[in-house]
Structure 1
Amino acid sequence: MTTEHQVIEQLSQYRQKKARVQALSTYSVGAGLTVSRLNEDDQLQELHRRLRGLPSYMYLSAHEQKLESIAHAYLGGKYPSGIKMQKRAVSVDVMDDEDQKLLRELRGKIQKVIEARGYDIRDGIDQIIERLTELQDLQAEIERIDTILEAMEQYKPDYAKLLRLRYVEETSVCEVCRELAIVERTYKRWRQRALTEYIHLIS
């Protein structure tokens, strides 16, 4: 369950994540192509969304179904977003030689997709995937925070504003009180309720 501390940490990191997205967006893959451009051009996610609703045998070969079963076995059916999360989820130590071979094949397919689109690989494929995935994950996290605060604004605008001012923009308590035209005692009460509402929406 999400705690108040986790919410505060998530909101407080908002601007740092935005800055990291900006920095990642300018990372050069090669030939003047940036990670941001690669992310915008990538249609694999759209294809995946279309395929998710279909039984795997309708679009995977027998061999590819075996690859899928390996992913299920090592990720427990839960596909965490982001290469870093997936690396933590997959225990390399327990993989046998055949599994390692299959997973290397999956990695190779990703590289072929990038190369087939005419993109030069400036660094290794791992560095590109790492940065691309980090960019996508951060964008998703930022969008999630914005969505939750915007949803809260629909029925508790003062609470949403309080959270944005205090934690996202790092405004002092005194300044937040001035902006909301409330006293500090009211601020403390609203702050607690705002955090509770955020947790309710995010859960």
Structure 2
Amino acid sequence: MTEEQAIDLLTSYRAKQARIKALDAVPVGAGITISRLSEDDQLQQLHRRLRGLPSYMYLTAPELRLEATAHAYLTRYPAGTRAQLAAVPAQGADPEDSGQLQELRSKIKRVIEARGAGTDDLDMLLERLAEAQDLQAELRRVDAVLEALAGYKPDYARLLRLRYVEDRPVNAVTEELKIVRRTFERWRLKAIEEFQRLA
């Protein structure tokens, strides 16, 4: 890593933080943002809690009838919502069952829509998620190097953080560190050398 690359890495820290914040705020549907995308959604959390309980303990009477109809017509129970939608037949043996099956299909469709699982947006969403993860990894790397440097040269680490990460002017950094301009320049060069060596 050259001196210029080290300085670029440090000076771009705040811009990367801002970009991560902007990416994390991108909604993906149902109030879920990219920052929460890797976590289970609330529906999955609820399913996990209810899995061990008998359905009559948490379903209403109409929901129990819907469940009974689903059990009567389903031969397999797929895991994904799209697969579940495909597994539910469009028509039943009688009009009442057909109505129940249509209601079940509409509920599954609402879940798919609420999760924002449109395949058109999926590629863009994955790109943004990957970008956010890459930026977070870069910031962790800079933090780790500065922390390691602070372990044996705390003044150098503070100088780099104040001057490049926080983008403070030279005179503000010299005041904060209580040093003169000449000492600042000497420390700055040595601090960048140490940063390069550790990075």
Task: Give aligned pairs, total.
Answer: 132
Alpha-carbon distance in 2 for matches of 1:135, 1:29: 14
Distance in 1 between the 2:9 and 2:143 partners? Answer: 12
Q: Which residue of 1 aligns with 2:174?
A: 177
Matches within 5 A, 1:1-203: 2-41=1-40, 119-122=115-118, 123-202=120-199
Letter aligned with residue 153 of structure 2: K
TM-score normalised according to structure 2 size: 0.61
Write the distance in 2 (CA, Å) between the matches of 1:181 and 1:188. 13
The offset of 1:125, in angstroms, is 1.6
Query: CA 1:37/1:166 → structure 2, altered by over 3 Å: closer, same or farther?
Result: same
Cα 1:114–1:172, aligned 2, differ >3 Å: closer, same or farther? farther
Question: Quick one: which amino acid aligns to residue 177 of structure 2?
Answer: L
Specify the SS of the correspondent of 2:126.
Answer: helix
| 1:25 and 1:34 in contact (8 A); partners too | yes
User: Could you tell me the TM-score, scaled by structure 1's length?
Assistant: 0.60
Partner SS state of residue 38, structure 2: helix
In the TM superposition, residue 194 of structure 1 has moved relative to its aligned partner by 0.2
Calculate percent identity across the aligned residue pairs.
Answer: 52
- CA distance in 1 between counterparts of 2:183 and 2:176 reads 13
Distance in 2 between the 1:11 and 1:121 partners? 37
Deviation at 1:113, TM superposition (A): 8.2
Counterpart AA for 2:168? T
Work out the CA distance in 1 between the residues paired with 2:150 and 2:177. Answer: 14
Q: How far apart are residue 40 of structure 1 and its match? A: 3.8
Q: Which residue of 2 aligns with 1:59?
A: none
- Cα distance in 2 for partners of 1:113, 1:132 equals 21
Q: Cα gap change, 1:157/1:39 in structure 2, threshold over 3 Å: closer, same or farther?
A: same
- Residue 68 of structure 2 corresponds to which residue in structure 1? none
Show structure 2 runs of 5+ residues with no match.
42-78, 84-110
Q: Max radius of gyration: which structure?
A: 2
Q: What secondary structure is seen at the aligned counterpart in 1 of 2:144?
A: helix
CA 1:155–1:132: 2 relative to 1, 3 Å = same
The 2-side partners of 1:8 and 1:190 are apart by 14
Distance 2:166 2:39 in 1: 28
> RMSD of the TM alignment (CA)?
2.4
Displacement of 1:115 in angstroms is: 7.1
* 3-state SS in 2 of match to 1:167: helix
